[in-house]
Structure 1
Amino acid sequence: MTSSIPALDPRMAEGRESALQAVLLDMDGTLVDTEGFWWEAEVEVFAELGHALDDAYREVVVGGPMTRSASYLIQATGAEVSLAELTLLLNDRFEELVGRGVPLMPGADRLLTELTEHGVPTALVSASHRRIIDRVLKSIGPERFAFTLAGDEMERTKPHPDPYLLAAARLGAVPERCVVVEDTATGVASAEAAGCRVVAVPSVVPIEPAAGRTVVGSLEEVDLGFLRSLITH
């Protein structure tokens, strides 16, 4: 994928003219390569329920909150299972799949290390449930974040702006001076509705550049100097 990163001003790379206040990061598909694990869990659980999932469903459920994805799959397949039961089954299966660790996305470890070393306020904002986040954090390193926010800890999660508004507030930051890193249209919609600048790193479904949004091929193209260059007022 062709990067749409703008040319970097050396002064911004050093941070002298940056107004960046915080960096907010999605988890699944952004920092860790788990989107495939979620789909595998969904396919396996529905097979046990007697239903084969169409590959086209994957683009619908990727990046969404568990309740939305599970509700969609129940409706699409006609499976006789309650939303609460299916949510439990999916979380259990996903935990089994990631129990031995999950791979970080290319560039994720370097970026998180750079943010930590420079003292940039950073938070993890995910639509996944707390139990899943805590398991995956063992691979990422919980000490790299000021705090983490789970989808089941909010009344409204992505694509609503609530998660990113809350994250910015907890860090004492103005949303317009926060950069969000996301991999799905659902997450991008949430961040943009909150008024944040967005760096999109598409994982499963393509995302187009837009005003206030920069699309890159991987986190290997993103560093602190680039993030600072996005906010200069």
Structure 2
Amino acid sequence: MDGTLVDTEPYWMTAQTTLIEAYGGTWTHEEALDLVGSGLWRTARTMQAKGVDMGEDAIVDLLSDRVMEQISVAVPWRPGAKELLLDLRRAGIPTALVTMSIGRMAEHVRSFIPFDAFDLVVSGDDVTHPKPHPEAYLTAAAHFGAAPADCVAIEDSLAGTASAVAAGVVTIGVPHYLSLEDSGAHVLWPTLDGRQAADVVRVLSDSRTPHR
């Protein structure tokens, strides 16, 4: 979701910086980038290490609230994301939103999509092990009764890509803030703009074709 469907990473970075500075600490862009795509409880522990005197759940809730407030003002859609989702739905392809954001935030973003975009949401509070662990993607595949190799993931982060690849899911990397050159993604797309369901199906088909 964050970075693939909506460009909310700047919102997270702003919320993190504000929280850390409120406790007298400092937060760099490089430190923020290290958290892109990982679970929010890892973020909470990092905030604590930077001097934030709050419990992990309280930090997760506070950061999520602040990002949701910013989304309510302006939803920063990534180019082509909504259009691709709509084409997938028209093609009758089941879809899941697999995110390490908490469920209420995932539903908040989902509420701004003007059609029923997802059959399933797997969020950070639905799993025991966050990305890069494969649990989230394995959970989504199991829900559909599908083998992971028959599923396609679209990811923008190293942690997310690692999660999908470890689950055995065919993975399309769409790099945004971080390079995915050595991420293990099956294919890299510079953008989702102009992409259609047929392009996703082609990636899946190509993954089954032996390469000489």
Q: Under a length normalisation based on structure 1, what TM-score does the superposition of the two structures give?
A: 0.82
Quick check: 2:19–2:52 contact (8 Å CA) kept in 1? no
2:15 to 41, 46, 61: 41
Determine the structure 2 residue equivalent to 1:24: none
Determine the structure 1 residue equivalent to 2:5: 31
The C-alpha deviation readout for 1:178-205, integer Å capped at 9, x for no partner, is 1100000000010001001110111211
Indicate the SS of the match to 2:96: strand
1:60 to 34, 42, 53: 34
Determine the structure 2 residue equivalent to 1:71: 45
> Percentage identity across aligned positions?
34
User: Relative contact order (alpha carbons < 8 A, sep ≥ 6): 1 or 2 greater?
Assistant: 1
Matched, 1:111 2:116: no
Distance 1:211 1:149, change over 3 A: closer
Give the count of matched residue pairs: 206
Deviates more, 1:180-189 or 1:212-221: 212-221
Matched, 1:133 2:120: no
Matched, 1:124 2:97: yes
Where structure 2 has 5 or more consecutive residues not aligned to the other structure, the ranges are none
**What is the root-mean-square deviation in Å for CA atoms of aligned residues?**
1.7
How far apart in 1 are the matches of 2:183 and 2:126? 30
Letter in 2 for 1:106: P
Indicate the SS of the match to 1:124: strand
The C-alpha deviation readout for 1:135-155, integer Å capped at 9, x for no partner, is 111223461111111110111
Residue pairs, 1:101-180, within 5 angstroms:
101-141=74-114, 143-180=116-153
Indicate the SS of the match to 1:168: helix
How far apart in 1 are the matches of 2:97 and 2:109? 12
Deviates more, 1:27-36 or 1:91-100: 91-100
How far apart in 1 are the matches of 2:161 and 2:57? 27
The C-alpha deviation readout for 1:82-137, integer Å capped at 9, x for no partner, is 32332222122222222224121101121011101110111111100011111111
Letter in 2 for 1:207: L
Q: Under a length normalisation based on structure 2, what TM-score does the superposition of the two structures give?
A: 0.90
Determine the structure 2 residue equivalent to 1:19: none
How far apart in 2 are the matches of 1:212 and 1:226? 16
